[in-house]
Structures are given as C-alpha cells and as structure tokens.
Amino acid sequence: MKPAPPNLAWLNLPNMPAAIKALFAGYLLVIGLGLCMAGLQIMLTHGLADGKTGLSIDDIVYSYYGDRSGSKLASKLNGSMKDKAPLEVRQDIVKWAQNGSPESEWEPHYKAVFAQYCVMCHSQIPGIPDFTKFEEVKKAAALNEGATVEGLTRVSHIHLFGIAFIFFFVGFIFSFAVNVPKKLKILVIAFPFGFLIMDVFSWWLTKLSPSFAWLTIIGGIGYSAASAYMWVVSMYQMFILSRNGKVYGNAWESDL
Ligand code: HEC
C-alpha cells in the first residue's frame, strides 16, 4: 500500500498551529511598532528640515540636495535652532553668512554673538560643531550641499540590508494567506522591494537634482502601503478569520 500523501490542509494563516501564530504575530507587532517609530523619526528629523512641521517635498530637497542658496547655519537658524536666539540676532548671523562669513568681522562682533547664544551647547555637547572656533562656524556657514556621498552610502546600505529583512519576513508570513488572488499576492509581496530600491535611488537622484524628490515620497508611500496591507491581512486571518473553524487547505499549493 502506498503511504498516504502528507496532509498539509493546515498550512495557511487561519489554520496555523498556535505556536507559529504566536511567532508570526510577535514579529509583526514588533515590526509594526518599529515602522511607526521610523515614521515618527522621519517627521522629527527630515520633517523639520525646512523649518516647518510635517514632511514635504521641500524637506526632502533640503535633506538631500541641500539649499544651495543658503548655508547649514542659515537653515538650522530657521529650523531646529530657531528658539536659540531672537529674530534680529538670527538675521544678523544669516546676513554675515550670506556675505561669505568674512573673518574680519569675527573677532570684533560675531565671536561675542555666538558666545552669548550658542556656545553653552556648541563647545560643550560632543558631536556638534564647536562655535568658539571660527573655522567650525565658517564650515557651518558654507553652502548647504545637502547629504554627503559618505552619508548617503552609509544610510543606503544600512537601509537596503535592514529593510530587506523586514520585507522578507512580512512577505513570507503573508504568503500563507488564503482568499487572496494569486496575482495580487505576487504583486504585493514584490512591491516593497521595488519601492525600497526606488526610495534609496531617489536620495541619490535628489542629491543631483531636486526634481527627483517626489520619487522619495512615492517610494515611501508605496512600501508603507504594501506592507501595511500584508500586516493587516495576516493578523486578520490568523486571529479573526480562523474563528469560523473552516479548514482552508494548503495555501502554497493553491498558489502553484
Ligand atoms: C540648548 C543647546 C543648543 C544651543 C543653545 C544651540 N544649539 Fe545648535 N545644536 C544643538 C544640538 C543638540 C544640535 C544637533 C541636533 C540638530 O542638528 O538639531 C545642534 C546643531 C546645530 C547646527 C547643525 C550642526 C551640524 O553640523 O549638523 C547648527 C548650524 C547650529 N546648531 C547652530 C546653532 C547656532 C547658530 C546657535 C546659536 C544661535 C545654536 N546652534 C544654539 C544644540 C544647541
């Protein structure tokens, strides 16, 4: 007698063993929280780049292309350093930076201005420029060219490796979903990887020309939407759809 073929009728999200559901759901919860934190972080860093709350095309242009008519000093003074000095003082500093921050005016005037408003942090906190030194002020007052190639290389590779892992497991879990048309399933699993590459490429393209900034937005919205869809469908099938007691059969086999 031939041995009976293995019965894999439980191999789908609603009918998975509880232990595997715990594993999948734990992973999805942590990843979901992580993605929310990432969103918040984007709002708090890039979102404020142009000095206004909320993420916009301008923020992306500022972050990657820079503001080639202005300096980092000027954009910070309109952004996260806005509350550090009164408007007249900030305008005075920006004007000096626009004039090429001549050293002749440093000793007689600006040294004291920075000493009064900035050096309590900018000489004390490690990792931010020391504004007791003219050279460091000069550097901050130079044209803002946005992201550096070193910075972009670092962020790009971390992003590609790290996020590919996330999409791999989210897509893997979703591949056990039932009642999703095969073509849709393939597209939704493949999309985030495509959008991720688009996103990372768009940073480099935006560094070359600000007109590519909208690609960053499309990439971000694209993979957020695709992974949110997979997340919701997977959770729903494991914990709500499973309650009707129905056996759905081997999800992978039905996608063959
Ligand atoms: C209360 C502390 C504090 C004060 C006061 C302060 N800063 Fe900052 N500054 C920071 C911190 C922290 C950062 C890094 C985070 C950031 O970029 O927002 C920073 C970053 C900057 C940067 C960007 C540096 C870089 O290379 O990324 C500039 C430019 C800057 N500050 C200018 C100023 C100026 C000009 C003043 C005075 C009018 C000032 N800051 C006062 C804390 C301070």
Residues facing residue 143 across a β-bridge? 71
Q: Which residues does 61 contact at the CB level (< 8 Å), separation at least 6?
A: 67, 146, 206, 210, 213
Q: Which atom of ligand 1 is nearest to the CA of 127?
A: 14
Neighbours of 196 (CB within 10 A): 20
d(CA 115, CA 131): 8
Residues with CB under 6 A from ligand 1: 72-73, 76-77, 80-81, 84-85, 117-118, 120-122, 125, 128-129, 140
Q: Which atom of ligand 1 is nearest to the CA of 139?
A: 26
At CA 162, angle to CA 161 and CA 164, rounded to 5?
Answer: 65
The pLDDT of residue 63? 79
Neighbours of 18 (CB within 10 A): 10
| Chain position carrying tokens 């201005």 | 113
Using the 8-state DSSP alphabet, how is residue 64 labeled? I
Query: Counting Cβ atoms within 10 Å, is residue 118 exposed (0-12), middle (13-18) or buried (19+)?
Result: buried
Q: What are phi and psi of 184, to 5 degrees?
A: -60, -45
The pLDDT of residue 148? 83
pLDDT tens-place values along the chain, 256 residues long: 677 777 888 899 999 999 999 999 999 999 999 988 888 888 777 777 666 777 777 878 877 887 777 788 988 998 899 999 999 999 999 999 888 889 999 999 999 999 999 999 999 999 999 999 999 999 999 877 778 888 889 989 998 999 999 999 999 999 999 999 999 999 999 999 999 999 999 989 988 888 888 888 888 889 889 999 999 999 999 999 989 889 898 999 888 8
Q: What residue spans define the domains of the chain? A: 18-51+147-254, 69-144
In the reported structure, the alpha carbon of residue 82 is separated from the centroid of ligand 1 by a whole-number distance in angstroms of 9
In the reported structure, the alpha carbon of residue 19 is separated from the centroid of ligand 1 by a whole-number distance in angstroms of 50
In the reported structure, the alpha carbon of residue 89 is separated from the centroid of ligand 1 by a whole-number distance in angstroms of 15
Would you call 209 helix, strand, or coil by DSSP?
coil
pTM of the model: 0.64
Strands (E), the chain: 67-71, 143-144
Q: Are 83 and 104 in contact (CB under 8 A)?
A: no
> For helices 149-174 and 213-239, what crossing angle results, to 10°?
30
Q: Is the dihedral of CA 28, 47, 159, 184 positive or negative?
A: positive
Would you call 236 helix, strand, or coil by DSSP?
helix
Q: Which residues does 146 contact at the CB level (< 8 Å), separation at least 6?
A: 61, 62, 63, 64, 65, 66, 67, 206, 207
Q: Are 176 and 10 in contact (CB under 8 A)?
A: no
Structure tokens at 114: 């920075």
In the reported structure, the alpha carbon of residue 128 is separated from the centroid of ligand 1 by a whole-number distance in angstroms of 7
Q: Go through the chain and tell me how many residues it has.
A: 256
